[in-house]
Chains A and B, each alone.
Chain A
């Protein structure tokens, strides 16, 4: 069960990510990214992070990506053009990606026995557990992030406002 779900949603993740890379229209890229994020939510659920799985759906798929889609529609972004800059990026980007994947994947693969394995239902972090740590041990960082959010809201309003 766990294996089947992991394979299905892992493949959805990979497919979505590759589609993001290959699509030339930003709205198609955005939709593939939504697929990636929602599949990641299922993977979080498999790993016993129920609150995070739903937070992923609400924050990433439901809020951040809606903003992206909204901006794409607002600016009426069209197909991506190929320019002189992109050829150099292709030459450096694709080998770079393969090298990075080789290094990271190889490391994880050689160390795989020390990571152990995850079973369905063996570990579940409830919202209560999460809140205990977040609001007792990490209260200050939490408050600092809330100030960060406030600053970001103000910044976004100032930046996006039309000058008269």
Chain B
């Protein structure tokens, strides 16, 4: 019984720490984006609140929290309130199955992953696919043509790109022979960059497909048609204000981090160092435990940087181009990747 109590307490501790860190990361991703886009457009970005504008997320949060929460009169109230909760809830869930460090046990509890699940990868895909409802319902319940158009676009886009996304992951799963995220990372942890799935595992095509589909799944430029401000005012969250809007906003940035984390786990070796076991005895036990977390965060940071860079560089697709690209290019490419990977694995065993 005592063991059970320790397990519960440690798990709650892990959940609390990960959630707080994750939410802080979400807030600072917004700042990162504003700063970087500012630099790309040759301006400073937010710089007034705190040193280098570092307290800006706090000010933003306070502003959104104190604003009046408008409830338009023609909306479908229960669904209107439910939609942002679904969006944010799903965005915050998938971090629960991701390993963010080595399997180091304290009192028999793995301290660097909240839940080690046999089908962890499918959990992430499932939670992502449920997240679509947040956007679909927000558009429908708002009773506003811009919202409805935005959410229809978004739903169609997410269904289409989910296919390519799911198929691109299969190459990695074939190579590992497991859906457990720890197994997937462990396979890549031996020889640094050379054993990462994207390079040593020759899943570079799958990596490209995943990355592109992930941009579409998170509704980011160049695929941000659901909220194309020049056509749809703000897309599916036109009618939302105050904290409900903030929840959609946080969900979007949390999804960016999620997608970056999944790409890291599947293709870039997760928490493993890019040098492999070249420096095995570097530092003491604490460094040994925390260095993988650093690598994991650093890789996610690179993805976030890429996101912002793409946003600052590429224009938006037209809707038919978006659909054509997903169905006629990415999907066949993903299927070809699965076939080739399967054949190679069948020949080499």
Contact = CB atoms under 8 A, between A and B. Distances in A.
The judgment on whether A and B are partners is yes
Interface of A: 27, 31, 34, 38, 50-51, 54-55, 57-58, 61-63, 66-67, 69-70, 73-74, 126-127
A101 to B, nearest CB: 30
B159 A63 contact: yes
Nearest to B158: A66
A38, A51, A61, A73 — most chain B CB neighbours (10 Å): A73
B126 A54 contact: yes
A62 B127 CA distance: 8
A70 B179 contact: no
Contact of B132 (A50, A66, A74): A66
Q: Which 3 pairs show the lowest CB-CB distances between chains A and B?
A: A62-B129, A54-B122, A57-B126
Contacts of B162: 62-63
Contact of A70 (B129, B130, B156): B156
Q: Mostly helix, strand, loop or mixed at chain B's interface?
A: helix
Nearest to B148: A73
B3 to A, nearest CB: 16
B122 A69 contact: no
Given A55-B122, A73-B152, A127-B119, A63 B129 contact: yes
Contacts of B130: 38, 57, 61-62
Contacts of B179: 127
Interface stretch (B32-40, B105-113, B133-141): B133-141
Contact of A66 (B79, B139, B155): B155
A62 B122 contact: no
B13 to A, nearest CB: 22
B322 interface: no
Contacts of B139: 73
B148 to A, nearest CB: 7
A123 to B, nearest CB: 14
Nearest to B117: A50
Interface string B143-162: 00000100110011011001
Contacts of B30: none
Given A62-B162, A66-B129, A66-B132, 6 more contacts: A54-B122, A54-B126, A58-B122, A58-B125, A66-B136, A127-B118
Nearest to A56: B126
Interface in B90-119: 117-119
B123 interface: yes
A61 B129 contact: yes
A50 B121 CA distance: 12
5 contacts: A51-B119, A54-B119, A58-B129, A62-B128, A73-B136
B341 to A, nearest CB: 16
Given A69-B136, A73-B140, A73-B151, A50 B159 contact: no
Given A66-B155, A127-B119, A27 B129 contact: no
Q: Which of A38, A74, A127 has the most CB of B within 10 A?
A: A127
A54 B152 contact: no
B133 A34 contact: yes
A97 to B, nearest CB: 27
B133 A66 contact: yes
A58 B126 contact: yes
B126 A67 contact: no
A62 B126 contact: yes
Contacts of A73: 136, 139-140, 148, 151-152, 155
